[in-house]
Amino acid sequence: MEQAAGIAGESMQGYTLEQVVSGALSQQQALAVWRLPLQTEVQACISFAPQTTSAIPELETSPTGFLFCPFVTDGAEGNIFLKADIRYSSLTKQLTIDPDAPATQVNLFTEALAQAENEKPGIWPIPANRAHHSNRNQETFTAAVSLAVDSIRAESMEKVVLSRISTSALPTDFSLLKAFGKMLVAYPNAFVSLVAIPGVGTWLGASPEILVSVDQHEVFKTVALAGTQPLCEDGSTANAIWRQKEIEEQGMVERYVLSCFKKLRLREYSEVGPRTVIAGNLMHLRTDFKVDLKEVDFPTLGTDMLRLLHPTSAVCGLPKEPALRFILDHEGYDRSYYSGFLGPVNSEVGTHLFVNLRCMQLLSDQAVLYAGAGITGESSADKEWQETQHKLQTMLRILSEF
């Protein structure tokens, strides 16, 4: 490992994020880049051997890295863990080499960084088995919503989340890194991410929803986020008025989180909300839950809650099993990593996993955009279509700036 240690010393010269991304793409290495909400630091990790598992891994014993998991965690797509062989911070502009990282690949990567200053970034990865994406038009989507409302009124379930895709041609001057930069500026309150994994694909997103977080102070957090309406014209939440449908939808998500705590016999938590929060061009209702693990003896709470929560009622429905069956039978496409979860694990600031919402998958010449809406017995099919239209604007806004 002397060779790798020497390279770590060379990183003192400093690298740009563009060099790091270009170097990873040119070497066809798995890459994750992210910025936590309300932070300025952009972090990245490069993994030489991504690990795919059929089960959600244990967070507490995991090495430092990045987790990227699909909506159906026991389905065709795997749960991918990117062990951080190389880490990067935009604040220090330096690389941190993991002691176990293979020296030969570290050498090749740092050589690629030097060349990246003079070269355009390589093409981003696209899926090995490219799915056929067909846009659902308003008629087919609203028909599925109407069927869901009938099932809910027949008491087959309480709520189901139906989503759809929309494909958009990539602008001729589209740049992966510039798109990421535009997202950083446009969505300061969101978890902004870029994930590029050979054979799996490339995803960009700006998620407003924490799934599971355990920070460096050993504080566990999760949220109940639901209900959607366009941002008020004055850009504030002061005049937000919520319909009964959205209030009940958010209440369902809140009760779902509490039911998970109950299954674990956890009583020591704080609850704040619901309150109106801004996410890009939208407003949502949000309730925050916290557990101080320094005071509560529950060392595996992060993993236990992750396995109970996902997929939450905010992206699946209630009860979970009939809602999931309805989605798989009637949604009409494979969500893949949309409405799954992603984020850094055991970093210097802890583990922070977010639901993969407000995202797009990049193909060679197209972007596949995703959006969903929570359906209850009070839902209007046309209004749910409009909600997905509003949510698609998050990523369409980024594409329109090229």
Say yes or no to pLDDT of 40 above 50: yes
Domain ranges of the chain: 2-116, 138-194+213-400
Is pLDDT above 70 for 347? yes
Confidence class for position 118, pLDDT limits 50, 70, 90: low
CA distance readout (Å), 121 to 179, 262, 315: 13, 49, 34
Judged against a pLDDT cut of 90, whether residue 101 lies above it is answered with yes
3-state class (DSSP) for residue 2? helix
**pLDDT-based confidence at residue 9 (cuts at 50, 70, 90):** very low
Give the model confidence (pLDDT) of 185-240 as tens digits.
999 999 999 999 999 999 999 999 999 999 999 999 999 999 889 988 888 888 88
Does 6 score more than 60 pLDDT? no
Residue 76: pLDDT above 90?
Answer: no
Structure confidence at residue 75 (pLDDT) = 78
Q: State residue 133's pLDDT score.
A: 61
According to the model, what pLDDT value does residue 10 have?
45
Q: What is the structure's pLDDT at 169?
A: 95
Q: Is the pLDDT at 11 greater than 60, yes or no?
A: no
Long-range (24+ apart) CB contacts under 8 A made by 259-267 are 260/305, 260/308, 260/309, 261/289, 263/308, 264/298, 264/301, 264/304, 264/305, 264/308, 266/291, 266/296, 266/298, 266/301
Flag whether pLDDT at 278 surpasses 60. yes
Q: Over 90: is that where the pLDDT of 120 sits?
A: no
Burial of 281 (0-12, 13-18, 19+ CB in 10 A): middle
Mean pLDDT confidence for 89-105 = 95
Residue 36 near residue 66, CB atoms below 8 Å: no
Mean pLDDT of the chain: 92
Question: Which segment, 103-117, 132-146, 219-233, is predicted with the most confidence on average?
Answer: 219-233
Contact at 8 Å (CB) between 191 and 348? no
The amino acid occupying position 129 is N
pLDDT tens-place string over residues 361-389:
999 999 999 999 999 999 999 999 999 99
- The Cα 380–Cα 223 span in angstroms is 26
Instruction: State the pLDDT at residue 293.
Output: 97
Instruction: Determine the pLDDT at residue 130.
Output: 67
Confidence band for 117, pLDDT divided at 50, 70 and 90: low
Q: Distances in Å between the alpha carbon of 332 and those of 76, 104, 162?
A: 16, 45, 10
Angle between helices 103-116 and 2-10 (to 10 degrees): 20
Residue 248 — very low, low, confident or very high, per pLDDT cuts 50/70/90?
Answer: very high
Own/partner pairs, 58-62, CB within 8 angstroms, 24+ separation? 58/300, 58/303, 59/212, 59/214, 59/302, 59/303, 59/306, 59/345, 59/346, 59/351, 60/299, 60/300, 60/302, 60/303, 62/345, 62/346
**Whole-angstrom distance, CA of residue 70 vs CA of residue 52:** 11
Sequence-distant (6+) residues with CB within 8 A of 368 are 133, 165, 166, 167, 360, 361, 362
Exposure string for 367-377, b = 16+ CB within 10 A, e = fewer: bbbbbbbbbbb
99-103, 109-113, 160-164, range with the lowest pLDDT: 109-113
Task: Please state the rounded mean pLDDT for residues 119-132.
Answer: 77
Q: What percentage of the chain reaches a pLDDT higher than 90?
A: 82
Q: Give the mean pLDDT of 327-333.
A: 93
Give phi and psi for 150, each to the nearest 5. Answer: -60, -40
317-318/341-345 β-pairing: unpaired
- Mean pLDDT is lowest, of 23-32, 176-185, 274-283, 322-331, for 274-283
Q: How confident is the model at residue 5 (pLDDT cuts 50, 70, 90)?
A: very low
What is the topology classification, in CATH, of domain 138-194+213-400? Answer: Anthranilate synthase (3.60.120)
